[in-house]
Amino acid sequence: MPNTNTDTCVSFVYEVSCFDLLTDSEKEMIDKTSVLVNYKKGETICKQGSFASHIMYIEKGLVKVYLEGSIKNLILTITPKHNLLGLQALYEGNNTFLYSISTYTESSVRLIDVQVFKKLLRQNPAFGFRVINILNESTAQSYGRFLSLTQKQLHGRLADILLCLSRRIFKSDAFDLPLSRSDLSDLTSMSTESVIRIMKDFKDDGIIEINNKSVALLDIPRLTRISEKG
């Protein structure tokens, strides 16, 4: 039997603490050259395909990172504070954003110039090594989602997302969902109608409780079984 307990989540376990590996003068360099920008709910932080001149560090808030497809979007991750985004701007073969990012809540984002970031990577190997680990964690997560989206059917995919939101983002069995049904459909790669129908199925079966924006996971073991079965 192959090891199939791949992580299917859309967010990260550990908050990033890469900046503590910088020297005081390096930190100062970031402070001096970066800017902190505030975004209101629903605003776009970066747009897929536009020029990527900076790395983004989420200091406050909650954002979605998504690919814009021709018919429909695909949400890659839901990312809370203390995470680095847009590291692909470092990739020299491509100076445009691979994805768009927008906010779910009021957010503060530090924009760090890509040249400054590159300089730090070149002069501080420990920092570079940490960045490699951040990229690797993100890759590991992508793979889990790859399997979830391509091999599980609707109920399994939605169970995956609900469990992940509960565990990783809201750290509680009950939470207010800032995402719309349509966002859930972009996360699970299904139609909005299917999201609604399956949420109702889960509700009718006593697996979750929903009224309006509030969601409570009542039977996590059962949800986990649905996730595993596909």
Q: Does residue 49 bind a copy of itself (CB under 8 A)?
A: yes
* 72 sits near a copy of itself (criterion: CB under 8 A): yes
Q: Which is nearer to DNA, 111 or 187 (CB)?
A: 187
Q: Which of 2, 17, 25, 212 binds a copy of itself (CB under 8 A)?
A: 2
For residue 133, the one-letter residue type is N
Buried b (16+ CB within 10 A) or exposed e, 184-194: bbbbbbbeeeb
Q: Among a copy of itself, DNA, none, what does residue 202 contact (CB within 5–8 Å per kind)?
A: none
Please tell me whether residue 98 binds a copy of itself under the rule CB under 8 A.
Answer: yes
Residue 40: CA count within 13 A, CB half-sphere: 0
The interface partner of residue 3, options being DNA, a copy of itself, none and the CB cut-off 5 to 8 Å by kind, is: a copy of itself
Closest to 59 measured CA to CA, from 37, 41, 43, 78: 37
Report the C-alpha gap between 142 and 38 in whole angstroms: 28
3-state secondary structure of 217: strand
Question: Which does residue 191 touch among a copy of itself, DNA, none (CB within 5 to 8 A, set by kind)?
Answer: DNA
Binds 196, which of DNA, a copy of itself, none (CB < 5 to 8 A, cut-off by type)?
Answer: DNA
Buried b (16+ CB within 10 A) or exposed e, 29-65: bbeeebeeeebeeeeebbebeeebebbbbbebbbbbb
Cα–Cα distance measured from residue 218 to residue 194, given in angstroms and rounded to the nearest whole number = 21
Q: Which does 153 bind (CB under 5 to 8 A by kind): DNA, a copy of itself, none?
A: DNA
Residue 150 touches a copy of itself, criterion: CB under 8 A: yes
Choose the contact partner of 180 out of a copy of itself, DNA, none; CB within 5 to 8 A by kind: DNA
- 98: Cβ–Cβ under 8 A, 6 or more apart, which residues? 48, 67, 88
Closest CA to 144 of 170, 163, 128: 163
Selection from 64, 73, 79, 100 nearest residue 189 by Cα: 73
Provide, rounded to whole angstroms, the least separation between the CB of residue 3 and DNA.
21
End-to-end alpha carbon distance in the chain? 17
CB-nearer residue toward a copy of itself: 110 or 157: 157
Q: x/- binding map, residues 102-141, to a copy of itself, per CB under 8 A?
A: ----------------x--xxxxxx-xx-xxx-xxxxxx-
- Closest approach of Cβ 180 to DNA, in Å? 4
Contact set with a copy of itself (CB under 8 A): 2-4, 6, 13-14, 48-49, 67-72, 74, 76, 87-88, 90-94, 96, 98-100, 118, 121-126, 128-129, 131-133, 135-140, 142-143, 146-147, 149-151, 189, 230
